[in-house]
Structure 1
Amino acid sequence: QFFKYESVSLSCEVQGNSAGWRLKRNTFSGGSSDCGGNWGKPQGSSCTVSLIPSDSGVYWCESGSGEHSNAVNITVHDGAVILESPALPVTEGDYVTLRCRYQGTPSDHTAHFYKDGSLIRTETTGEMTIPAVSKSDEGLYKWDLPPPSHPTHPPLLPPPTPPLPPPPSLPPPSPPLSSSLCLSLGWWLPSPSL
């Protein structure tokens, strides 16, 4: 997951020889195409993309003979906040980390985590971990970034002479920024042995 205007470099690296491999993508807006056509800047076996939301899609490497790599999903967010999670659904017992990202701030910031509307944790690292996820952890998770603090009153100064117009009032506090996701568990039964 990436923010709008982040730059990413994707490489096609093959053991032995990367020559002849090219980066391709399939997006909702543009179908399948190669790097350098109408998107990305090719540099050898790499492609650099300054991302916008329409760049969201599936990316993979392909050889001239039709061989291809595993695909990766890239999602570009137009907003300023992202709640990162593992691929969903998760399996019971999995170690899960939910990570808050807010564009333009360091990765270690205070975040309030909510589950189904109730505050469950405040973390100063911007991350929340669930060591062994269980059915009781299912739900809608949300985080918010506390708004910046403003002084409640302007500093007290002696009255000026001659009188000046009253000072402007302080701006209202900024609303918190937030993002959410629904965490669900996948249940798979082992195949019967033959």
Structure 2
Amino acid sequence: MEVTPLYWILLLFISRVAAGQSPGSLIVRPNRSQFFEYESVTLSCEVLGGSKGRRLERNPTSGKRTRCGDGWGRVDGTNCIISSTKSTDSGEYVCGSGELNNAVNIVVTDGHVILESPALPVTEGFNVTLKCRNKTNPSDLTTDFYKDGSLIRTESTGVMTIPAVSQSDEGLYSCRHPELGRSPESWMTVTAATSSNPTSSTSSPPPSSSPSLLILISVSGLAAVSVFLIILLVLFCYR
């Protein structure tokens, strides 16, 4: 059978589909958007189906976008580890597939107060817990919580739970400790629910943890292989 340019184009396209070539999703562990200096954070890229290995890139608040290991972070297998964060590590992190829709903003502060809020998007209907954490005093104290600059609640334990979040809960959150001051602001993203009865959680599950998603990817892979075989058969018959 003569191998035509069309054959190679189709082969390249189908192999990319079968391999799950899709925008990477950034996973942050621990799943929070704010860190004190000298804490550790692990980041990794996952594509549909749970495969890893996409490069991780950072677009700092000042400077150019660079890869993990290029002056910051340490590559450990499929992970990027920042073992001792600094304020210069603040910025936008994204899987290096060219798309910024899965970018995550991380704030590293040398202050005394941070807001522990999910770095990853949370799903409508889930319960989300926000915690005002201070570096010098581990005890829980009365804390003010803010959304988009306005006071929304005061909690005596330093913890606020938002039950069954909705799109209206999306916004910039911060907290204020009565003795140590206010935390930086972080954006909380709320995505549409994929089920009519989502399970309550403090944060949304990683993209690779959904059984229905894995089934969908498996079906997509089988479909791609089937199309590939049909095209081979057509080209053979045409020859």
The alignment's TM-score, normalised by the length of structure 1, stands at 0.54
Identity rate, percent:
49
* CA positional deviation for 1:11: 1.1
Which of 40, 44, 56 in structure 1 is aligned with 2:90?
A: 56
Point out where structure 1 has 5 or more consecutive residues left out of the alignment: 88-93, 146-175, 182-194
| Cα separation, 1, equivalents of 2:174 and 2:109 | 18
SS of the aligned residue for 1:75 comes to: strand
Aligned residue for 1:34? 67
* Structure with greater contact order relative to length (CA < 8 Å, sep ≥ 6): 2
CA deviations over 1:137-184 (Å, ceiling 9, x no partner): xxx975325xxxxxxxxxxxxxxxxxxxxxxxxxxxxxx212166xxx
Q: Are the counterparts in 2 of residues 61 and 69 from structure 1 also a CA contact under 8 Å?
A: no
Q: Which has the higher helix share?
A: 2
> After TM superposition, which residue ranges in structure 1, 4 or more long, deviate above 6 angstroms?
114-117
SS across alignment from 1:12? strand
The structure with the greater share of residues assigned to strand is: 1
Q: Which secondary structure state, in structure 2, belongs to the residue aligned with residue 60 of structure 1? A: strand
User: What do you get for the CA RMSD once the two structures are aligned?
Assistant: 4.3
Matches of residues 22-171 of structure 1 in structure 2 within 5 Å? 22-49=55-82, 50-63=84-97, 70-84=102-116, 98-106=130-138, 109-113=140-144, 121-124=154-157, 126-129=158-161, 143-145=176-178
Contact 1:13-1:45 within 8 A present in 2 as well: no
Following superposition, the deviation at residue 130 of structure 1 comes to: 5.8
Of structures 1 and 2, the larger Rg is shown by 1
Cα drift, residue 30 of structure 1? 2.5
> CA 1:62–1:3 in structure 2 vs 1: closer, same or farther (change >3 Å)?
same
| Offset from partner CA, 1:12-36 (integer Å, 9 cap, x none) | 23336424x2110101222100001
1:179 partnered with 2:210: no
Number of the residue aligned with 2:52: 18
TM-score (structure 2 length as normaliser): 0.45
Deviation track 1:91-116 (CA, whole Å, cap 9, x = no partner) reads xxx9775521112554x612243787
CA distance in 2, matches of 1:177, 1:29: 28
SS at match of 2:88: helix
